[in-house]
Amino acid sequence: MSKTSNINRVDGFAKVTGSATYSAEYKTSGVTYACLVGSTIAKGRIKSIDTKKAEWAPGVLAVITHLNVDKPVGYEQPKSRNNFGQPLQIFKDDSILYYDQPIALVIADTFERMQYAASLIKAEYLKETHSTDVQKVINKGKTPERSKDYHRGVEDGYKNAEVILEEEYTIPTEVHNPMELANIIAKWEGNKPIVYTKSQGVEGTRRSIGGVFGVQPEDVEVHSEYLGGAFGMGLHTWPYEIAALIGSKKIGRPVKLVLHREQMFTNVGFRPYTIQKMGLGATKEGKLTGLTHEAVALTSSYEDFTEATVNMSRFMYDCANVSTRYKIVEMDTCTPIWMRGPGEATGSFALESAIDELAHKLDMDPIEFRKRNHAEKDLEQNKPWSSKYLLECYEGGMERIGWKNRKNKPGSVREGEWLVGYGMGTGTFGSYRSPATVKAKFLSNGTLVLQCSVNDMGPGTATMMTAIGAEITGLPAENVVIEMGRSGLPKGPTQGGSATTSSVGSAVHDACNLLVSKAIGLAHETNVFKSTPIANLTLSNGTVISKDDTSKSVTLVSLLNDNKLDELIVENESKGSEEARKYSIYSFSVHFVKVLVNPNLGKIRLAHVVSCADIGTVINQKTSAGQMYGGAVGGIGMGLMESLEIDHRFGRPINNNFADYHVPVNADIEKQEVFFVNKKDPISNPMGTKGLGETALVGMAPAIANAVFNATGKRVRDLPITLDKII
């Protein structure tokens, strides 16, 4: 991928100039404005709800509660707790399952009238005792169906080791908080729902909305062409989306509903509070002999959310005896949802902190310790890696961060009044590939159009598709048009799990190759190339040429015109190979951090951050680096700032706003670098890419904790590492 490996973001201009249309910005005639009124208790029943004043307020079109809702037919179907989609059946009855659960939908003809009417709704409750503090119910966890205990070798074999480490690590609830709020415009055309909504999965949204309203997925129209970030919160169809559709059906007009920032903290998922226990054992020479990783994580009372928190401990290191256990506890909150680096980001904090702690106990450099336990194959699945350039990531990072300046003894290095610490953490994430269909078209004006219903929540999917399409067809990137993010296009996968480039990129790759063959086939039928062997023909910059005789050429435009075609089309589904199943396909990342800590003030400065990754082939350096920078910043938030604080007396958040829920800004990171090994994976897919978005975050939080320890000798095992924990 040469010429196209550094093209600019194709959606960049639209995004920075405001011409990109986000869901709530679509122009829809007759649109009305809605909001959700939330419960002020965390558990109980609605005793009474007074909607009269709101109904009588000027401009109000409807007030919908559990008392007057027209229940969608899908509400009657039995729900599995494992069935993501719309498990909280909004307005179903008088029960309250979490703080700020919607109890009413108010629709009016203007935004201001809607807001005013909503303020008039009063509810009384029958309170029940709620439970929001995971620490209090840590022993009440249950093992979910899909997260069975895992053992390799001797159960809890670490206990027999020469050197043992047993520690507990905690991460608080963290919230995705994309800049673009959750938002939807919902309307109906007869019995067919039409939504403009913030979603990471067009086809998944069609299925879940179809299921709730008893409509075939094909009859659900979904638009989600631009997203202002999502980080996983768009992987679920949320109750607010169903509420807007119920409201629109009732009043027979389009309904626009945008959550308030506060509701983003309570109604659209989060990374769940998780407590982890690690037990590690090694020989005195630094060979890991046992590893036990246990986690207890929060879920809601109505849905079993699980993630792969303990899974990386099964394959990350060469270790004969490994046990993992994962449990969930039901709390009175909204259901969590995958948040960037789901599971592994949480798990890596415990694993990579514990590895650092054990290396310290052994008085060994933590990278040396990791190298001694480098896994040459995946011991969990007993398969070879498709490719693994983790050692190159270590080398690349050590050099860039200046690892040689690190001393094993904490507090040994100073710069003026600042204590200097170096730390690192390893990350990984499965590299998945789902089936994807792409339609590729050459138009008679010399344009290549690529169509797929997949979304682009920000990683640069459209740019990646453009780069691959341009590379294969030999057209300039400016001639490539991407149509994506809506139903009616060839079916793409949900954008999640770092799988989009492997899935949709491969589909673009395959469809474009077929399209090129088709064009060359047509050219071969012309008088110009009749006598040229087809294998000698190639396509470059919109023209079919012969490799041996460059005087001969046929342009794509003339090919189409001569054949009286408006366009040349290929539609093709691509999916993973059987061969790929024989391998274990993972991306790897290593984050390096140099911190400066003021021992008197507890202030932590990130003097230098280096993130290295083995993600196979890098399709586009700019967007990939952007992903890596952004993911690393997410990990810095996790390490130093992010925590949803709950007032357990009331079961509700305290810092549900951007002022009090802290995320890193540019000034928080003094120098940041990204390094890609950029070696093709021979197995993963035709381009040799692996996933990027998640592993960009995984491993960063422990890198910071390890650096802070190296600077100060203080080991912080409960995130975030705020200054009160340092002084």
Residues that are catalytic: 694
The radius of gyration computed from the CA coordinates of the chain, to the nearest angstrom, equals: 27
Nearest approach in angstroms of CB 528 to ligand MOS is 49
Give the sign of the dihedral formed by CA 623, CA 625, CA 628, CA 629.
Answer: negative
Q: Which is nearer to ligand MOS, 423 or 496 (CB)?
A: 496
Q: Is 342 in the site for ligand MOS (CB under 6 A)?
A: yes
Eight-state DSSP code of residue 616: B
Residue 269 CB, nearest distance to ligand MOS (Å)? 10
Please measure the distance between the N-terminal and C-terminal CA atoms of the chain and give it in whole angstroms. Answer: 50
> With contact defined as beta carbons under 8 Å apart, do 149 and 293 qualify?
no
Gap between the Cα atoms of 646 and 658, Å rounded: 15
| Helices (H), ranges, 286-389 | 344-361, 366-372
d(CA 307, CA 304): 10
CB of 634 to ligand MOS, least distance (A): 10
Shortest distance, CB of residue 39 to ligand MOS, whole angstroms? 28
Toward ligand MOS, which CB reaches closer, 231 or 592? 231
Q: Which of 474, 497, 653, 699 binds ligand MOS (CB under 6 A)?
A: 497
What is the distance of C-alpha 247 from the center of its chain? 30
The answer to the question of residue 338 lying near ligand MOS (CB under 6 A) is yes
Structure tokens at 350: 């415990």
CB of 497 to ligand MOS, least distance (A): 4
Q: For residue 106, which amino acid is it? A: V
Distances (CA, A) of 406 to 165, 371, 417, 420, 711: 23, 17, 17, 9, 10
Q: Is 427 in the site for ligand MOS (CB under 6 A)?
A: no
Query: Does residue 496 belong to the site contacting ligand MOS (CB under 6 A)?
Result: yes
When the beta carbons of 234 and 616 are compared against ligand MOS, the nearer one is 234
690 binds ligand MOS (CB under 6 A): no
Give me the residue label for tokens 């190759």.
513
Q: What is the closest distance, in whole angstroms, from the C-beta atom of residue 432 to ligand MOS in the complex?
A: 10
493 contacts ligand MOS (rule: CB under 6 A): no
Decide whether 141 or 497 has the Cβ nearer to ligand MOS: 497
> Per the structure block, which two tokens stand in for 481?
């048009």
Sites for ligand MOS among residues 556-595 (CB under 6 A): none
Q: Minimum distance between the CB of residue 207 and ligand MOS, rounded to whole angstroms?
A: 17
> In whole angstroms, how close is the CB of 271 to ligand MOS at the nearest point?
9
As measured in angstroms, the least distance from the Cβ of 684 to ligand MOS is 18
Q: In whole angstroms, how close is the CB of 176 to ligand MOS at the nearest point?
A: 8
Which candidate, 481, 482, 479, 507, places its Cα nearest to that of 493?
A: 507
Tell me whether the omega of the peptide bond preceding residue 193 falls within 30 degrees of 0, making it cis.
Answer: no
Question: What's the angle, vertex CA 254, arms to CA 250 and CA 256, rounded to 5?
Answer: 105
In this complex, which beta carbon is closest to ligand MOS, that of residue 455 or of residue 684? 455
Q: Which is nearer to ligand MOS, 271 or 388 (CB)?
A: 271
Minimum distance of ligand MOS from residue 498's CB (angstroms): 7
Measured distance CA(147)–CA(458) in Å, rounded: 31
List of residues 6+ apart from 649 with CB closer than 8 A = none
The nearer residue to ligand MOS, 161 or 235, going by C-beta atoms, is: 235
**Per CB under 6 A, which region of 295-303, 307-315, 338-346, 618-626 contacts ligand MOS?**
338-346
The piece of 252-260, 339-347, 567-575, 628-636 that touches ligand MOS (CB under 6 A) is 339-347
**What is the size of the binding site for ligand MOS (CB under 6 A)?**
10
**Closer CB to ligand MOS, 496 or 639, in the complex:** 496
Only one residue has tokens 């008893």, namely 214
Nearer to ligand MOS, 72 or 269 (CB): 269
Residue among 648, 641, 723 nearest 135 (CA): 648
Strand pairing category for 274-282 and 163-171: antiparallel
Closer to ligand MOS by Cβ: residue 232 or 366:
232
Interface with ligand MOS, residue 269, by CB under 6 A: no
What's the 3-state SS for 432-492?
A: CCCCEEEEEEEECCCCEEEEECCCCCCCCHHHHHHHHHHHHHCCCHHHEEEEECECCCCCC
Q: What is the DSSP letter of 383?
A: B
Residue 340 in the binding site for ligand MOS (CB under 6 A): yes
Please check whether residue 7 is in contact with residue 91, taking contact to mean a CB–CB distance below 8 angstroms. no
Contact 645, 93 (CB under 8 A): no
| Residue 485 token pair | 């993010």
Q: Reduce the DSSP state of residue 614 to 3 states and report it.
A: strand
Query: 193 or 342, CB closer to ligand MOS?
Result: 342
How many CB atoms are closer than 10 A to CB 65? 19
Site string for ligand MOS, 450-489 (x = CB under 6 A): ----------------------------------------
Bridge partners (DSSP) of residue 324 are 150, 293
> Which helix (H) or strand (E) is 516 found in, with range?
helix 506-524
The strand pairing partners of 326, in sequence order, are 295
Task: Compute the least distance from the CB of residue 342 to ligand MOS, in Å.
Answer: 5
Question: With respect to ligand MOS, which residue has the nearer C-beta, 65 or 500?
Answer: 500
Nearest alpha carbon to residue 360 among 419, 292, 280: 280
The per-residue DSSP string of 252-299 comes to TS-EEEE--HHHHTTSS--BPPEEEEEEEEE-TTS-EEEEEEEEEEEE
CA–CA distance from 709 to each of 48, 236, 407, 547 (Å)?
Answer: 54, 38, 12, 61
- Contacts for 535 with CB less than 8 Å, ≥ 6 apart: none
Choose between 44 and 497: whose C-beta lies nearer to ligand MOS. 497
Q: Which of residues 205-244 bind ligand MOS (CB under 6 A)?
A: 231-232, 235
Of 106, 339, 468, 596, which one interacts with ligand MOS (CB under 6 A)? 339
Contact 265, 653 (CB under 8 A): yes
| Binding track over 171-200 against ligand MOS, x by CB under 6 A | -----------------------------x
Sign of CA dihedral 647, 650, 655, 656: positive
Q: How many residues does the chain have?
A: 727
Cβ proximity of 505 and 465 under 8 Å: yes
Instruction: For residue 637, state whether it binds ligand MOS (rule: CB under 6 A).
Output: no
Could you tell me the smallest distance in angstroms from the CB atom of residue 666 to ligand MOS?
23
Contact footprint for ligand MOS (CB under 6 A): 200, 231-232, 235, 338-340, 342, 496-497
